[in-house]
Amino acid sequence: MTLTDTRRQAPPAVVARDLTKVYGEGDAQVHALRAVNVSFATGAFTAIMGPSGSGKSTLMHCLAGLDAATSGTVHIGDVELTGLNDRQLTLLRRERIGFVFQAFNLLPTLTAEQNIRLPLDIAARQADQQLFDRVIETVGLKDRLGHRPSELSGGQQQRVAVARALISKPQVIFADEPTGNLDSRSGAEVLSFLRTSVRELGQTIVMVTHDPVAASYADRVVFLRDGELVTEIGAPTPQSVLDTLVRLERA
């Protein structure tokens, strides 16, 4: 069975139904998400876009169990995240979800290799050596494994952060502006690596970004405005993403 067949047969990695998030009370209420319905296919790379304040980070945080929704449900695979207590959520995040943030969040005293293995050490899990080798191969950092973060470029540090997320084979990786702190060349490195990990390792990735070029690396782009999912496009190009953003601003 090919990877494409697997993808076609697999149920979605993440499903949100009527997801609503209200911050504050009374006059100070902000409806950050208004009954969002969206699902993210297994083995696909999806970008979330929308104007500042449209609810992108809120959506990602609710999907990842970092923030509690006001109402609605989130499923990660067959687990309903919205029904879990704090302890169960912590376990689910550790075992099924990977994170990549704008700040690389690497531990400065550990080498690249130690940083990559850290989630497995914390969970007291054995590294799958074959996967480790494959991730290192894909990440292209074989000769940098002994370096500390301060001895790596920004793009290399972010690739270490992505490798760290990949190594525990999470059901989904959430990335919030992963190239926000990078120049365009390092950003392109990280984005190609994200795309390769989807193509070659079958990883599912959901990425929030402001950048039409970054979004064009994804298989699909969904657009938020005022807490609502308003449209989406497949096989995005920088131009088609830009056109959609302009159309949304005008509407």
Ligand X SMILES: Nc1ncnc2c1ncn2[C@@H]1O[C@H](COP(=O)(O)OP(=O)(O)OP(=O)(O)O)[C@@H](O)[C@H]1O
Q: Which residues bind Mg ion (CB under 5 A)?
A: 57
100 close to 168: Cβ distance less than 8 angstroms: no
- Report how far residue 225's alpha carbon sits from residue 3's, in angstroms, rounded to the nearest whole number: 33
C-beta of 132: minimal distance to ligand X in Å? 33
Least separation in angstroms between residue 48's CB and Mg ion is 10
Q: Closer to Mg ion at the Cβ: 100 or 167? A: 100
Q: Which of 24, 37, 80, 246 binds ligand X (CB under 6 A)?
A: 24
222 alpha-carbon distance from chain centroid:
13
Contact indicator for 202, 3 with CB cutoff of 8 Å: yes
Contact predicate 112/143, CB 8 Å: no
Contact flag: residue 180 with ligand X (CB under 6 A)? no
The amino acid that residue 203 corresponds to is Q
Binding ligand X (rule: CB under 6 A), the pick from 43, 50, 77, 178 is 50
- Taking CB under 6 A as the criterion, the residue among 15, 16, 42, 55 binding ligand X is 55
32 binds ligand X (CB under 6 A): yes
Find all residues with CB under 8 Å of 161, minimum gap 6, and list them.
100, 101, 104, 105, 106, 115, 178
Q: How far is the CB of 219 from ligand X (least distance, A)?
A: 21
**Binding residues vs ligand X (CB under 6 A):** 23-24, 30, 32, 50, 52-58
